[in-house]
Each structure stands twice: as C-alpha cells, then as structure tokens.
Amino acid sequence: MIRLSVNLNKVATLRNSRYDQRSGTSGAPSVLEATLVCLDAGAQGITVHPRPDARHITLADVRELRALVAAREGIEYNIEGDPRAELLDLVIELAPDQFTLVPVREGELTSQAGWPANTPSAPLRTVIERVQRAGTRVSVFVDPEEAPIRWAADLGAERVELFTEPFARAWERGGTERTESFARYRAAALLAHELGLGVNAGHDLDEHNLALFAELPHLEEVSIGHAIMAQALFDGLAPVVRRYLDRLTPRARQ
C-alpha cells in the first residue's frame, strides 16, 4: 500500500495572510481542523515543513499537530526541514514518525532540488544519528540520480524522498519525455531499494500524473499538498483526499 501524507503548508499560508502570531488566536482556516478532515477522509499521514521565516507552518503548529496525530492510531507524522538547531531540537523532543531532511536555499519560494551528493556527510550523519536515537525514522530529500541516493545510504538514513517536480513537468509535456522521466525514477527507486532504503516521493504530484507515478516500484509514501489544497477550493478537502487515495490503490491503477 502506498501511503498518502497530506502536506498542510498551504492551509497555514492562507491562515497567515490574516493571522497575527502575536495575538495568540488560532486563525482561519484552522490547520488542526484541516488535519482532522484529511484523516477522517482516510489519509494515512500528515506532513509539515516549518521554514525559518514561518511563512506557513510555525513551530507552534508543529507542536500542536503532534498531539493531534498521536491520538490517531496508525497515522504517521512527517516533519520536513533543514537541520537548523531550533527545528532539530523540536524534532528530537516530539519524536515524530519521520523527519525528512530537505535542503533550503535562501529566498526560495519552494524546494528547488534535492541534496547534492557533494554535501559534506559528517554534519548530516551526526544529525541523523541524533534523530534516530529519539526513535524517529529519517528520510533524505534527493534527486532521482545514483550519486545522491548512494550518498543518502552512506549517511545511514532509512529512506529517500525523490524530488518529483521534473517528473511533473515531463508528464505535462507527454510523449517520450514522460516515459523517459518515469524510467529515470524507476531506476532510482530500484537502486534505493537495492541499497536498503525505503522510497518516498513528493513535489508537484497530482491526481493526473499519479496515474503513472503510482506504478513506481517500492514506493511507500507520497507527500502531496499544493495540488490537493488547490483542487479542494473547488471540490472540498475531504472528496479530494479520497480521490487521491483512490489513485494510490491497486484497483484504481488497473
């Protein structure tokens, strides 16, 4: 079964457009309420990515959501982010099911790429060991290439998350670009599995390109936020989550 982890960043982005963090009010739309809707619709996980500028999910959100998700049996909580001290300390304190290490470039609107394979290993290996000692699985955000996947395995991570924006763009162009891109991701997934890594994926996946991407071998989890929230404006959050779950079930892919 491929698990769907719903990324709530865009719910927080909308809330923060009318939310003064100093007021102490919850703001609307409520991230907690959106979480409950997603879980009631069948989502198996929740993902958040608290950035240093707190432009969407805040560290306070991360803490509140931990208690909510922990109350639901079988639901996984995935915190994404760079290994900055304040986030790392919170991850170790809260011990979520998964911590996804994502590189952050100054001024970026959203993630642009995975960790390059020439990133110094020693500091990240120390981070991973600390998080694992707290009981949390570690995934590393990488491009679907041999070098960064082998680098992630050498770090001691349990999983990689494949950066899927290139696949999404190839899907839009169609034809041989679509099939060649999927072949690239297939090879990456097979290599990761061979190296003992679990395979996650995320970034610009939607209910259309999932028709193909859900066939990826050894795929364990997809993290999807923007596409779900964008379509939810028209169709409602619960129905959209259920449609994505249908895309990820074997019967829907036959």
Active site residue 49: yes
Dihedral, CA of residue 6, residue 222, residue 43 and residue 38, to nearest 10: 20
Question: How far is residue 251 from each of residues 42, 209, 220, 247, measured CA to CA in Å?
Answer: 16, 17, 17, 9
Which pLDDT band holds residue 109 (cuts at 50, 70, 90)? low
pLDDT digits (tens, 9 = 90+) for 16-45: 987 655 555 568 899 999 999 999 999 999
Contacts of 6 (CB under 8 A, 6+ apart): 38, 43, 45, 46, 47, 223, 224, 225, 228, 241
Q: The pTM is what?
A: 0.92
Longest alpha-carbon distance in the chain: 53
| Candidates 56, 76, 161, 203; catalytic one | 203
Q: What pLDDT is attached to residue 117?
A: 93
Q: Give the Cα separation of 15 and 12 in Å (integer).
A: 5
With 90 as the cut, is the pLDDT of residue 181 above it?
yes
Q: Of 111-115, 199-203, 222-226, which gets the smallest average pLDDT?
A: 111-115
DSSP 159: E
**pLDDT at res. 51:** 87
pLDDT > 90: percent of the chain:
85
Domains in the chain and their CATH numbers?
3-253 (3.20.20.70)
d(CA 206, CA 233): 15
- Can you give the three-state secondary structure of 227-238, one letter per residue? HHHHHHHHHCHH
DSSP 215: T
- Vertex 87, ends 86 and 93: CA angle to 5°? 95
User: For residue 131, is pLDDT > 90?
Assistant: yes
- 49, 56, 76, 221: the catalytic one is 49
| pLDDT at 232 exceeding the cut of 80 | yes
Mean pLDDT of the chain: 92
Where b means 16+ CB within 10 Å and e means fewer, 91-110 reads bbebebbbbbbbbbeeeeee
| Cβ neighbours of 185 (radius 10 Å) | 23
The single-letter code of the amino acid at 29 is P
Active-site residue among 76, 80, 145, 161? Answer: 80
Q: What is the pLDDT of residue 113?
A: 66
Distances in whole angstroms, Cα of residue 253 to Cα of each of 55, 174, 180, 209, 248: 36, 19, 20, 12, 7
Residues 238, 202 contacting (CB under 8 angstroms): no
Give the mean pLDDT of 176-201.
98
Question: Residue 11 is inside which H or E element, if any?
Answer: helix 9-16
CB-CB contact of 135 with 85 (8 Å)? no
CA distance 35 to 69: 8
* Nearest CA-CA partner of 243 in 107, 102, 27, 41: 41
